Chain A
Amino acid sequence: MEMHQIRYFLAVSETLNLTKAAERCNVTQPSLTRAIKALETELGGEVLRRERALSHLTELGQRMLPMLRQCYESALTAKMVAASIREGEAAPLSVAVSRTVALRPFTTMLRELSCAFPGLQLQLRRGTGAEVIEYLKQGTAELAIAGPLDEPWSRLDAFPLFEEPFHLVVNRTHRLAGKIRVEFTELASETLLINTECEMVEELKACLEANDIVNTATHQVATQEDLLALLDANLGVAIIPDGASATNGFRRIPLMRLELARTVSVYTVAGRPRAVACATLLNLLRAADWSFDARTAQQGRAH
């Protein structure tokens, strides 16, 4: 499979017109048709129903489209990296991170990136799930790291990185701090600290309800920082993601039947040219061994 075959196919999928697609790719129509035929041989079926001005994708073509686009973008990135590795050149990179996702697991990749691109200039934004999507749409962020984003936008590419469990976290002086484990019923009389801007707030509420924790007193906050400050002041207990609960000074206690976890993913916008630094970070994140990282992070906290 050759890059130009996919490029021609993508052009046809966008124009739905062989003549226009050939023009856009700057080739003759016979060469475009030939290349797509070759691609079809490889894919084992027709991707296109050919009608001069009314061509359309077959079921196979539709099914293969997102995958072909992704493959093409990866190959394009590789080509771009090859062409543009120049020492010291300024490499701006804008990243949006959800307010509830800890940055720590990603700092090793950022350090690696800055070694490879000494001209790296990072712009880090924080936001709620909705804000993160907005940053991506507007192009103010090239790449985002967040929990599940409830967003139907078809151009949003999500690459899952790791599962992050939620834990019950209390102040060290809290009455539950000495417990080996806690039942949900023991939370009925507690004040719960809830971050209303967490991507998982609805899931958390549903989980509490499912375990008969209803009408419990809450303090609602909009940032993880404020939640931790209230936790530090012992104003309540919280059920928060693993990364956020790694802060010293708090106690993490197993909460029986708590099966709340989220998938932390890296998000990019399909079909938008990626700068080399962004593309390289995406590869670093996707190639990384998250299971190992999670384990060592866990061990680090245990000591």
Chain B
Amino acid sequence: MAERPLSDIVEDAFIRCRDLQAPLAARLQAFADELRRLSPHFAEAVDALVNRLVESDAGATAPKVGEPMPAFLLPDEQGRLVRLNDLLGEGPVAIAFNRGQWCPYCRMNVNALARAEEEVTTEHRHIAAIVPDRQKFAMWLKSDAKAPFPLLTDVDNGYAMSLGLAFFVGDEMKHMMVNSGWDPSVSQGTDNWTLPIPATFIVGTDGIVHARFVDPDYRTRMAIEDMLAALRSAR
């Protein structure tokens, strides 16, 4: 019998961590710890990748608070083209870059965002997630996370790269990911092996970045409370 891939082995732990009654940061950490326990080897490779990204100042040139968020035109999970301006028509928006449907941290993050959206949607504040995944996979993530908001497809990470938020996975990590059952080339439909740095931008109706969170360590995400506070104080 073929050996179960790591992605399969950690699924139960993922569900358990996702459904903990705890802040997002604690749940992400619980899952990262579980992954480290199950495969110290993989966790070390992730540490090395994150260190490399930190050393090369990855994400440093992304739009800062007070700067305009560059416009985009991206298809959502149903193939409808969505502009940043369309989203800002109703109020401030949180734009959350995620790595894809295959990534447990992103599944947890999008799920937490989905629950947060419920709190602010009546206040005309919204969320949109951007992933490099094609529609079929974006749709999967949307239903897995029960997300009421659009999941936009950024083909080849083009928009992310134009913001300085894309990076190359590298050969070593690539092989390790494929062997572990995490293969973004399937959902992306390309062998480029680039991924976005998960980042969240809260954009006001004037198109200006009101708050942001950029961390090359993809195991940490913007705290939901911080995002909600920023969304509420944005105009």
User: Residues of A at under 8 Å CB distance from B?
Assistant: 1-3, 38, 41-44, 67, 70-72, 74-79, 81-83, 85, 108-109, 112-113, 115-116, 159, 280, 282-284, 286-289, 291-292
Tell whether, in the assembled complex, residue A42 and residue B167 are in contact, meaning their CB atoms are under 8 Å apart: yes
| The 8 nearest A-B residue pairs measured at CB | A74-B158, A74-B156, A75-B161, A287-B153, A289-B136, A82-B71, A78-B158, A78-B162
User: Residues of B at under 8 Å CB distance from A?
Assistant: 52, 55-56, 58, 61, 70-75, 79-81, 83, 85, 134-136, 139, 153-159, 161-162, 164, 166-168, 170-172, 189-194
Name the residue on A nearest B61 (C-beta).
Answer: A2
Known: A2-B164, A42-B56. A286 touches B71 (CB 8 A): no
Shortest Cβ gap from B155 to chain A (Å): 5
Please measure, in the bound complex, the distance between the C-alpha atom of A41 and the C-alpha atom of B52, giving whole angstroms: 8
Most chain B CB within 10 A, of A2, A43, A85, is at A2
Name the residue on B nearest A67 (C-beta).
Answer: B192
Please measure, in the bound complex, the distance between the C-alpha atom of A140 and the C-alpha atom of B154, giving whole angstroms: 28
Name the residue on A nearest B139 (C-beta).
Answer: A289
Please measure, in the bound complex, the distance between the C-alpha atom of A288 and the C-alpha atom of B81, giving whole angstroms: 11
Contacts of A112 in B (CB 8 A): 75, 79-81
- Some 16 contacts from A to B, beta carbons below 8 A apart, are A1-B161, A38-B56, A41-B55, A42-B168, A42-B170, A44-B172, A67-B191, A70-B192, A74-B156, A76-B158, A78-B159, A82-B71, A286-B189, A287-B134, A288-B75, A288-B79
Say whether chain B's binding surface is mostly helix, strand, loop, or mixed. mixed
Tell whether, in the assembled complex, residue A283 and residue B155 are in contact, meaning their CB atoms are under 8 Å apart: yes
Contacts of A42 in B (CB 8 A): 52, 56, 167-168, 170
Tell whether, in the assembled complex, residue B134 and residue A288 are in contact, meaning their CB atoms are under 8 Å apart: yes
Please measure, in the bound complex, the distance between the C-alpha atom of A116 and the C-alpha atom of B153, giving whole angstroms: 16
Please measure, in the bound complex, the distance between the C-alpha atom of A291 and the C-alpha atom of B79, giving whole angstroms: 14
Please measure, in the bound complex, the distance between the C-alpha atom of A42 and the C-alpha atom of B71, giving whole angstroms: 27
Tell whether, in the assembled complex, residue B167 and residue A79 are in contact, meaning their CB atoms are under 8 Å apart: no
Tell whether, in the assembled complex, residue B73 and residue A1 are in contact, meaning their CB atoms are under 8 Å apart: no
Tell whether, in the assembled complex, residue A43 and residue B170 are in contact, meaning their CB atoms are under 8 Å apart: yes
Tell whether, in the assembled complex, residue A116 and residue B81 are in contact, meaning their CB atoms are under 8 Å apart: yes
**What 9 additional pairs, Cβ within 8 angstroms, besides A70-B156, A81-B72, A81-B73?**
A1-B164, A74-B155, A75-B166, A77-B158, A112-B81, A280-B81, A284-B75, A289-B139, A292-B136
Tell whether, in the assembled complex, residue A1 and residue B79 are in contact, meaning their CB atoms are under 8 Å apart: no
Tell whether, in the assembled complex, residue B167 and residue A85 are in contact, meaning their CB atoms are under 8 Å apart: no
Please measure, in the bound complex, the distance between the C-alpha atom of A205 and the C-alpha atom of B81, giving whole angstroms: 42
Name the residue on A nearest B172 (C-beta).
Answer: A44
Contacts of A79 in B (CB 8 A): 70, 162
Please measure, in the bound complex, the distance between the C-alpha atom of A2 and the C-alpha atom of B164, giving whole angstroms: 5
Shortest Cβ gap from B128 to chain A (Å): 15
